Amino acid sequence: MTSAEFRRRLDQLRGVITRGLWYYTAWKNLLLYEEGKVPWSREEQNKVLGRFGGFFEPVGLALLDMAVIQFAKVFDRDARAASLLNLLGAAGRDTSLVPGHTSAEVDVVSAGVQQSKKVLDWLRPTRDQRLAHADANPAPVGPLLLKEFDSLVEEVKSAFNWLSTAHDGRVVGWEYPLRRVEEDTSQIVGILLEELSRRDAIAERTRS
């Protein structure tokens, strides 16, 4: 594989990871409650999600499914795939793709990614059993599942940046696009909460 082809595939992989991060970040900020992060209570958020459950339930499940699908692509072994595993394998076989680094260093990164793949394999059959009704009541969502997925996400970001930096010094900053997803998603919940409060006030005046 030439250096130009390696960079092209890295850029393709960056797009896959970015989409996975978008979906997962939107899902977390839409359906899960984090005390201190937003100005409303868990009960108020549940009220919004329950009132508009016909929208949030399919959207939430779709976001989580798409996040898992995108991260699955990261671990694709098909020779045609621009996956993290394939690019690490190419770098291990030809260290000219990661100048100044050894195949042993590539192996260390690969070993960490392989552990993340085990997490993904565990998440696939578990996600619907544990999270199918997260939109209606975020509280029961198992912390282990979130912890494992968060660990997977961080390992993928770290491994990709190691490989990209080792190849030609380029580092990806994931923070800005994810912060925008967090802020905009939370704002949607806030707007809907204000609308429900407005409706409740009108209903109260009507009863009076």
Q: What is the pLDDT of residue 57?
A: 87
- Residue with tokens 């704002």, as numbered in its chain: 187
Question: What residue spans define the domains of the chain?
Answer: 3-207
If you average pLDDT over residues 32-55, what whole number do you get?
88
Render pLDDT for 136-183 as a digit per residue (tens, 0 to 9).
444 444 555 788 889 899 999 999 999 999 999 999 988 888 999 999
pTM for this prediction: 0.85
| Cβ atoms of residues 46 and 137 within 8 Å | yes
Strand ranges for 2-148 from DSSP E:
none
| Cβ atoms of residues 1 and 90 within 8 Å | yes
57-75 in b/e burial notation, b at 16+ Cβ within 10 A? Answer: bebbbebbebbbebbbbbb
Q: Is 81 helix (H, G, I), strand (E, B) or coil?
A: coil
* Paired tokens of 123: 């998440």
If you average pLDDT over residues 45-59, what whole number do you get?
89
Residue % of the chain over a pLDDT of 70? 89
Q: What is the pLDDT of residue 126?
A: 62
- Orientation angle between helical segments 103-131 and 53-74, nearest 10 degrees: 160
Highest mean pLDDT among 9-23, 48-62, 112-126: 9-23
Helices (H) and strands (E) in the chain, counts: 7, 0
Distance CA 40, CA 138 (A): 14
Dihedrals phi, psi of 38, to nearest 5 degrees: -130, 155
